[in-house]
Structures are given as structure tokens and as C-alpha cells.
Structure 1
Amino acid sequence: MHTLQFALPVQYIRQITDQVRRMNVPLPASFVRNRWDALPAGEVQVLALDVFEQSVQDAIDATGEPAFGLLVGERMRINSHGMLGYATMNSATLSEAIALMEQYLLTRTRLVAVRHQAKGAQVQLVFDELLPLRKVRQSVLEAIVLTIKNLYDYITSGGASVACICFPFEAPCYADLARELFNCEVRYGQSWCGFAFPAEALTAPLAMADPTTLQQAIQACQREMHRMSADAGWTAKLTRVMLEKQGPFPSLNVAARLFNLTPRTLHRRLLEEGTSYREVLDQVRHMLALEHLKTGKLSIPEIAYQLGYTDTANFRRAFIRWQAVSPAAYQSAQTESANNS
């Protein structure tokens, strides 16, 4: 299978490289080979997903630190997030800051998306995985959640403490360190990834709010989004079209026409990015299947229909290939975990 590609700000890559150096070990060969120690500042680097995964794993192996992701997340502060961090810092309320994160997080990473949902007297800030992180999933999610939690603490000036952190994997050997770094309860084996905080915090005014600076930062974020859209690879463009489509997914022929290309040209350009139409469709179906099963609003046959499968059996086989369990077993586990959280 061809590997996916995605863009990542050089600042984030430097945080990984600097953490390895800080731990007094030589840079892994993959870092040197990919010249991670010589990337120009202020740029965005396009990485193959498998190269990124291997490099993160090499960092963990070289340092011998299983909590490497947490250590990287801990050292990232508001200036690590570019204009998005600046915009959230100058927001009038937490609700406004979260809306900006939901809209512009893609300018910082395409590994996850963020959304919030009400849960009684609390709000859950949920991180949804957009790309299959496989063996470094835990490290990457820990780094992302910790750095956003630190951003939350900064803009709220500690006035609305996070109730708990939730991770969808089992407790690691360094769970005590995680609780110390997050400075709150950390729950493992949950049905979602993110953190919960008091609902009243959404409308409380933020101390650093500055309307003029906020508008300037939002405009900068908008320019970055437009630039990313113009510069986006064909994989990202096709993924966006599929996610935006209401109804059946466009065929290769229809998608090519939407881009004013021939099917042969679109196929060739996807191959140049290490993927294909079928692989992009498979990844979109996987992503949407997980989301539908988590929300529980549709039955499994309805999900199969929404995803364009001719019958439920075909969907079931595909889901077992993705997750190694059936859709019914996955949904049951999600429901049980949610009831216990």
C-alpha cells in the first residue's frame, strides 16, 4: 500500500528533534537522513506518514523513553502554534477560542481534528484522528492533548480547571508521570480522546482578550487556510470533496471532472503522492464509519448504506480489515466505555 503524505509545521518537527538532543543522545539515523535538524524556520514540511511514524518511533527507541510524546507536548507553549495560538490567546471567551481551534487547527496539523460537545455540566473537547497513526498513535495523541491542555490553561489563566483527561488506550507504565504533567485525573480505556472542563467556562471572559489583535490573527489564519487549500496535494483535495459530498461518493471520473482533469491525470497525480483513488475512498469510509459508530445515531445497515456499500456484509468485512473487530463489537465497546466514564 502507498503511504499517505501530510504537512506539519517545522516548529513541531524541531520540538521532536530538540527533545532528543535535550536527552543527550545522538539523533537517530532517520532524523539525519531526512535532515530534520536543518529544516528552515517558519516553513511547513510535507512528510510521508510512514516516515513520520518511523522517526517518532526511532526517537522513542533512541532515548529509551516510552513517555517521549508527553515530554514533547510539555515543552510546546502558545508560541509553538503560530497565529492560531495568538488568535486563541486574544479571544473574548473560551467558546470563541474553541471555535477558532475547530476551524483552523488544520493549519497546524492534519493528524487530528478537534470538536466540542456538551456532556451534562461539562464540555468535552474531543480529538478525532484523521490519519492512521498505528504504532506511534499513543505518543502522538499524548503530545497533542497535552499541548492543547496547556494552551487551555494559559488562556483561561487557571480559572477553569480541567476535570479529567481521557485516552482511548490502556494505561501505560508511566501513568503517574502523565497525571503529574496534566495536573489532573487521567482516565484510560475511554471511548474518546480529549479532556473535559466545566460548561460555565465557555462564556467566562478571558483576561487577555484584545478584539483588534484577534481580528488580525484571524485574518492571518484565513490566509494560511487559503494558501493551504491552494497548495494542498491531490490526496487532500480528493479527501475534502468526498467528506463534503452529500450522498454517494464521487467516482474517479466524476472527481476528475470536478477538478477539471481527466481520470487518467488525477490517477497519475495521486500515484505521485503515494496513494490512489481507492485508497483515499477506503480511508474516508474508515474515518466516517468510526464517527457514525461512536455517535450511535445510525444503525449498522444504515451506516453501510451511507458509506456506499452494496450490502452490510461488505461493510462488515471492510471494518474487520480496518479495526480487527466487527462493527457491532466496536460499537458495543464504545457504548460500554461511555457508560463507565
Structure 2
Amino acid sequence: MTSNSQASRHNTASVQLLLQFGLDHGLSGDRCLARTGLDWRRLAEPGFAIDARQELELIRNLVNALGHLPGLGIQAGLRYRLANYGIWGFALLSCPTLRSAIHMAVRFLELSYPLSEINEAFEGDRVVTTIDDSGLPEDVRDFIVDRDIASSISFVRDLIGTALPVESVTLRRPEPADASPWQVLFGCSPVFGADENRVVKNAADYLDRPLPGASAEVARQCELQCEALLASRRARSGFAGQVRARLVAKPGSLPGAEALAADLNMTSRTLHRRLAGEGTSVRQLQEEVRESLADELLASGLPLTQVGEALGYGEVSNFIRAYRRWKGSTPHQHRKLLSDRR
């Protein structure tokens, strides 16, 4: 266990699910947890915390032992349920519609402790899921992408009772010898060896249909708790704090991974690895900096065009879309709220 408080905060429920997955496939607990530094007897203790590196090592053990099984990551991902994710999952389940639940999921995605860069976006009545796996270790990359895609499908089933029809899938991984697990999951054949991991689903019949667990009061209370947890989590320290400080110094032209790595006298690979060990990434830190500065600049009364330019957005429309993704509302709505409070 690392002593860094941020590095030790990760999804214990995920580790419990992965451990049980290994046990169900005939592995011993010791083999699943080898080199993780974890004791299975402590995983269920209230407040017990782990770090991302320990989850990665557990996944590595599963892949090394069970990697011959077709669609291993898919099998694991379908075990994930929203109820395993505490307040983040309950917030989604209490949303009025699938559309609002997706907005809520993206806004507080950090609380689900993803290992990859996941994004959900709307294109008309379609929901597009993309996963950037560039920061993941190569030996566990395919498992994590498959797990994340399968779990996102599982989450939608929790919300609407069924899966959304999949229109197209592209995956960066090489085509496996047996592609049937992917064909069963998506209902179509993915394009393997593509440039990006992208799943397009048709949600026309479901986006604005009331959800069975909808509760405005519960959703609001969950949202407030998520906001508090996210603020606490983003009180960065350790290595992530060093990187964030460099980003804050240049909000209008946030340096990328290569520039940050050079500034810190390390390779970009080491940068990605160390941030992953603290449960974050360059892109996530960039988003945090832009989001926090956006509220400050909006409160100052600057025109939206100037706020967008100060944060590095060439078009104000791009800034508005980003702000809606962060907050679930527009900059105009945020300003009106500030005005009403005053």
C-alpha cells in the first residue's frame, strides 16, 4: 500500500468482483492477489482502501492465468452492477431518464475510479462510447477495455431493463481467434484493429423515457454527495498534485503528456504510470483544471468568449459543450444561479 492518500483511494468493490471472478474460475485467492499486497480478509472492511496499481496487478494475475479464455474481460465486465458503485451508482439509478443518467455518469465518472479514459456522448439519438486506452499497460489493455465496454452495457440494463441496440463497434485490439463473445455482447461483428475503441448505440426509444427508479429528491441528495466526494478527491497531493500545479500555471494552453514529462525529467510512459498509480491521468487533470477555473472566470463576469479563450477553447460552442459535460448545465444557467443567489 502506498502512503499517498490519493493513491490509496480506489474502487474496492471492483477488486472484490475481480477476486470472486478468479475464484469462480478455479484460482486460489493467493494466486489472484499475488504481488498486490492485499489481504482478501480485509477487502470487505468499512473504509478499507486500495490503489490503482493493486487493481492492475490483480487484473494481470487474472490475464496470466485465464487469458486463454475467449472474451475474459467481457465475462468480468458483465458482473459489474450500478449497486456496486455506492453513491455514484445510486445517483444514476435515481435519475428521471436515461439521458440525465448518462449526463450524471459523465459528470461524476471519476467517482467510479476508471482505469481507462471513458467518454459517453450524444450524437442525435445515439449514445457513443469511446475508450482511450493509450495510458494502460499493454499486457492488461485488452482486458480492461473489454471489461469497461461490457460493464457499461450492464449499467444500462440496470437503468432500463434491457440493452440498447448496437449499430457499430470498432476496437483497437487485434482480432481474436474466437470473436463469438464480442458478437454475442454487441449483436453484431466488431471491426478489430481499428484506430479507436468506439461503440455506437441507438437510444431513440429510451433516452427520455422515465426510469423505474426515478426520484427527484434522492437524485438531488446523491448529486450533492457526489459533488462533495469529488471535491475531496480533487484535493490533489503527491505526484498528481505536482502535475496539476503545472497545469494551473498555464490554463490557456495546457501542456500535454510529452511536455509535462519533459518538465518533470521523465518519460511520458513513466508519467502515465505514476498518475495511474494515483488513480488519475493527464487528461483527467486537464479537465479538473479547466472545470475549476471555469467557475471562477464565470463568476468574474467575463463574456463567454473570453472565458472559453482563457481556458484554451477556440470556439465558445466547444466550451459550452465541455461545461455541460462537467456540470450538467450550461454556463448561462450557472450565471443565472449565481445571480439568483446574490
In structure 2, what residue type is equivalent to 1:35?
L
Equivalents in 1 of 2:12, 2:129: separation in Å? 26
How much has 1:106 moved relative to structure 2? 0.9
How much has 1:287 moved relative to structure 2? 6.0
Change (3 A) 1:242 1:96: farther
State the match for 2:149 in structure 1.
Answer: 145
| Structure 1 counterpart SS, 2:210 | coil
| Structure 2 counterpart SS, 1:147 | helix
Change (3 A) 1:204 1:242: farther
State the match for 1:136 in structure 2.
Answer: 140
How much has 1:21 moved relative to structure 2? 0.7
Q: Aligned ranges for residues 285-296 of structure 1 at < 5 Å?
A: none
State the match for 2:13 in structure 1.
Answer: 11
Equivalents in 1 of 2:119, 2:241: separation in Å? 22
State the match for 2:297 in structure 1.
Answer: none
State the match for 1:172 in structure 2.
Answer: 176
How much has 1:46 moved relative to structure 2? 3.8
Could you report, residue by residue, the CA deviation over 1:154-187 in whole angstroms, capped at 9, with x for unpaired residues? 2122274333443222222342023224455433
Is 1:23 equivalent to 2:28 in the alignment? no
Is 1:277 equivalent to 2:282 in the alignment? no
Change (3 A) 1:5 1:185: farther
State the match for 1:192 in structure 2.
Answer: 196
| Structure 2 counterpart SS, 1:76 | coil
Change (3 A) 1:184 1:218: farther
State the match for 1:311 in structure 2.
Answer: none
Give ranges in structure 2 of 5+ residues lacking alignment: 1-5, 273-280, 287-311, 313-342
| Structure 2 counterpart SS, 1:83 | helix
Change (3 A) 1:75 1:234: same
State the match for 1:98 in structure 2.
Answer: 102
Q: Which residue of 246, 254, 265 maps to 2:251?
A: 246
Is 1:38 equivalent to 2:41 in the alignment? yes
How much has 1:18 moved relative to structure 2? 0.8
Change (3 A) 1:60 1:159: closer
* TM-score, normalised with respect to structure 1: 0.64
Q: Aligned ranges for residues 150-165 of structure 1 at < 5 Å?
A: 150-158=154-162, 160-165=164-169
Equivalents in 2 of 1:115, 1:6: separation in Å? 24
* Identity rate, percent: 17
How much has 1:84 moved relative to structure 2? 1.3
How much has 1:150 moved relative to structure 2? 0.9
State the match for 1:57 in structure 2.
Answer: 60
Question: Which gives a bigger RCO, structure 1 or 2 (Cα 8 Å, sep 6+)?
Answer: 2
Equivalents in 1 of 2:52, 2:219: separation in Å? 34
Once superposed, what is the RMSD of the aligned Cα atoms?
A: 3.5
Is 1:219 equivalent to 2:224 in the alignment? yes
Equivalents in 2 of 1:37, 1:235: separation in Å? 28
How much has 1:32 moved relative to structure 2? 4.4
How much has 1:191 moved relative to structure 2? 3.0
Equivalents in 1 of 2:264, 2:61: separation in Å? 31
In structure 2, what residue type is equivalent to 1:277?
L
How much has 1:151 moved relative to structure 2? 0.6
Q: Are the aligned partners of 2:125 and 2:207 in contact in 1 as well (CA < 8 Å)?
A: no
Equivalents in 2 of 1:227, 1:287: separation in Å? 19
| Structure 2 counterpart SS, 1:208 | coil
| Structure 2 counterpart SS, 1:55 | helix
State the match for 2:328 in structure 1.
Answer: none
Equivalents in 2 of 1:32, 1:12: separation in Å? 17
In structure 2, what residue type is equivalent to 1:219?
L
Change (3 A) 1:103 1:19: same
Could you report, residue by residue, the CA deviation over 1:271-320 in whole angstroms, capped at 9, with x for unpaired residues? xxxxx934487747x966xx9xxxxxxxxxxxxxx9xxxxxxxxxxxxxx
State the match for 1:122 in structure 2.
Answer: 126
How much has 1:69 moved relative to structure 2? 1.8
Equivalents in 1 of 2:47, 2:267: separation in Å? 26
